[in-house]
């Protein structure tokens, strides 16, 4: 097979045409894992034998008939807070070093049923918070575009693994930006779907009412293919939505002429001014959307700081509740960064929490009103290119509000797509936000952007330099 790393969509077409063997595809991913992961640390647990067995089984089934769907025979990875039957699930924590679940999380079960090849479990910040941490059992993942730099988190291994082609797609989770942040800094696509669309059952909580599960892959189209399998009602998740599941690829390639895109300029130009490289990426993206025939409108929302305060108070409190028992009895066993986040819970009163949840209703209504007459809105995903991994500030949440939390607060779907390269050749991104359960429109816009720009043709240099024969 070619040395080029295929997208899921391209691999699926070749597999369906019996021009690409799932075994060959899996071996190519494994070769990249062996060549690169000693430096990237994307995997905490590689399931090589299982992956090859699953790839062989997929190949047999496909040769005997045809693929069960576009994910059949595709190598993927799961963030290590996703329960996997008979496979260690450590949540990146000392607490769960010996934890081997006896059931799969719903999302793992669905991907397995679709015929994916599980390559292993991917690095995460401890219980999907804090990080990067150097005092955990496994080292933090590093950015394939420059391994001296951070991936963002907490779905750090998924971001690094997809960007470097160790896997073609993976699962991330997102409580305040943990899918979209690593997607942005690693130069890939990642979507936080509408709250409730993908089951959280079997996935370790970070903050119950803000937690989302979603796909990360090289392109928006690949994310759509994965979401098709992941979405759906699950009675084991009390927040699971019961709605018909549309075709998430329905609007791919149909163009975006006449679509209305709102731009929340004040988020990234006033409330938290982004880096020059990121601003250039946003400006170029807006020009691309205009060229594609979209209409751009200005959108004004409450200051980013209001959204951050609301989301942070909810997140801090729900996390402190989830991990209260261990905080009281074994606080010293958490990583320093996770511990620091957990103890913030002592400073938030019950009334503060309820006021935050009352504010949440107001903010969601505000976004709903602002998006009336619009198809999507756009802002930054990250404030700047990836920082050096040893220079990531610990307390950013107080003075530099993130661009992703507003859409966890609202529960609206949001995707990050690569918008070019900034300082040091590191990726920059834009974030597109859709209305609840309107992921097909979001994918259509993201896909049109990716196809109109050259950024999907460039992989991190280390992929070619370190894997050359």
Point out which residues bind other proteins (CB under 8 A). 209, 235, 238, 305-306, 308-310, 312-313, 316, 320, 324, 327-328, 331, 339-340, 343-349, 352, 354-362, 364, 395, 397-399
Nearer to other proteins, 48 or 352 (CB): 352
What token pair was written down for 387?
A: 């920082």
**331 is written with which tokens?**
């606080």
Judge whether 154 counts as a catalytic residue.
yes
Question: Shortest Cβ distance from residue 210 to other proteins (Å)?
Answer: 11
Write down the catalytic residue from 79, 110, 192, 435: 79
Q: Is 398:421 a contact under the CB 8 Å cutoff?
A: no
In the bound complex, what is the minimum distance in angstroms from residue 270's beta carbon to other proteins?
17
Residues 6+ apart with CB under 8 A from 468: none
The dihedral formed by the CA atoms of 151, 153, 158 and 159, expressed in degrees to the nearest 10: -40
Beta carbons within 8 Å of 438's beta carbon, 6+ residues apart: 375, 413
Q: Of 65 and 329, which has the nearer Cβ to other proteins?
A: 329
Residue with smaller CB distance to other proteins, 241 or 428: 241
Query: Is 388 noted as a catalytic residue in this protein?
Result: no
Closer residue to other proteins (CB): 90 or 315? 315
Q: Which of 133, 155, 156, 178 is catalytic?
A: 178
**Residue whose tokens read 């949001």:** 414
* Least Cβ distance, residue 327 to other proteins (angstroms): 6
Cα–Cα distance list, 89 to 167, 171, 364, 397 (Å): 18, 14, 34, 28
- Answer yes or no: are the C-beta atoms of 167 and 120 closer than 8 Å: no
Helix (H) or strand (E) holding 76: strand 75-79
For residues 296 and 466, what is the distance between their CA atoms, to the nearest angstrom? 42
Phi, psi of 443 (to 5 degrees): -65, -40
List the one residue out of 161, 239, 157 whose CA is nearest residue 198: 239
Least separation in angstroms between CB 206 and other proteins: 16
Catalytic residue flag (residue 254)? no
CB of 247 to other proteins, least distance (A): 26
User: Of the listed 21, 93, 154, 275, which one is catalytic?
Assistant: 154
Nearer to other proteins, 99 or 369 (CB): 369
Least distance in Å: CB of 265 to other proteins?
21
DSSP letter string over 358-389? Answer: HHHHHHHHHHHHHTTT-SEEEEESSSSSPPBT
Taking the least distance from each CB to other proteins, the nearer of 224 and 363 is 363
Is residue 212 within 8 A of residue 179, CB to CB? The reply is yes
Q: Which residues are catalytic?
A: 79, 154, 178
């Amino acid at each position: 097979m070619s040395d080029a790393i295929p997208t899921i969509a391209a691999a699926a077409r070749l597999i369906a045409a019996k021009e690409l063997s799932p075994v060959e595809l899996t071996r190519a991913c494994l070769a990249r894992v062996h060549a690169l992961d000693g430096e990237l640390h994307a995997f905490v647990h590689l399931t090589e034998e299982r992956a090859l067995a699953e790839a062989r089984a997929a190949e047999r089934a496909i040769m005997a008939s045809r693929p069960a769907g576009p994910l059949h025979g595709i190598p993927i990875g799961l963030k290590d807070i996703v329960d996997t039957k008979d496979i260690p699930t450590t949540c990146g924590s000392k607490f769960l070093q010996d934890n081997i679940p006896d059931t799969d999380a719903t999302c793992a079960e669905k991907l397995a049923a679709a015929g994916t090849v599980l390559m292993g479990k991917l690095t995460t910040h401890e219980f999907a918070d804090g990080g990067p941490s150097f005092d955990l059992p496994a080292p933090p993942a590093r950015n394939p575009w420059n391994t001296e730099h951070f991936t963002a988190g907490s779905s750090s291994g998924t971001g690094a693994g997809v960007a470097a082609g160790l896997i073609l797609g993976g699962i991330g989770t997102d409580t305040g930006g943990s899918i979209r942040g690593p997607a942005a800094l690693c130069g890939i696509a990642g979507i936080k779907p509408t709250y409730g669309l993908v089951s959280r059952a079997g996935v370790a909580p970070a903050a119950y009412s803000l937690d989302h599960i979603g796909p990360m892959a090289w392109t928006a189209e690949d994310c759509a293919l994965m979401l098709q399998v992941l979405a759906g009602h699950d009675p084991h998740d009390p927040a699971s939505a019961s709605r018909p599941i549309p075709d998430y690829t329905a609007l791919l390639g149909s163009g975006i002429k006449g679509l209305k895109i709102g731009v929340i300029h004040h988020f990234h130009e006033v409330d938290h001014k982004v880096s020059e490289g990121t601003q250039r990426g946003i400006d170029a993206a807006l020009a691309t959307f205009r060229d594609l025939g979209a209409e751009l409108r200005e959108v004004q929302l409450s200051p980013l700081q209001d959204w951050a305060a609301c989301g942070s108070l909810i997140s801090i409190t729900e996390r402190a509740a989830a991990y209260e028992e261990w905080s009281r009895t074994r606080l010293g066993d958490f990583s320093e960064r996770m511990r620091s986040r957990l103890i913030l819970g002592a400073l938030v009163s019950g009334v503060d929490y309820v006021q935050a949840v009352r504010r949440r209703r107001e903010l969601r209504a505000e976004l709903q009103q602002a998006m009336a007459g619009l198809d999507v809105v756009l802002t930054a995903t990250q404030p700047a290119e990836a920082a050096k991994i040893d220079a990531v500030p610990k307390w950013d949440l107080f003075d530099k509000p993130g661009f992703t939390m507003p859409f966890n607060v609202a529960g609206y779907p949001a995707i990050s797509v690569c918008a070019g390269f900034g300082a040091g050749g590191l990726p920059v991104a834009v974030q597109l936000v859709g209305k609840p359960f309107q992921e097909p429109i979001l994918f259509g816009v993201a896909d049109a952007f990716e196809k109109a720009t050259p950024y999907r043709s460039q992989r991190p240099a280390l992929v070619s330099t370190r894997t050359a024969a």
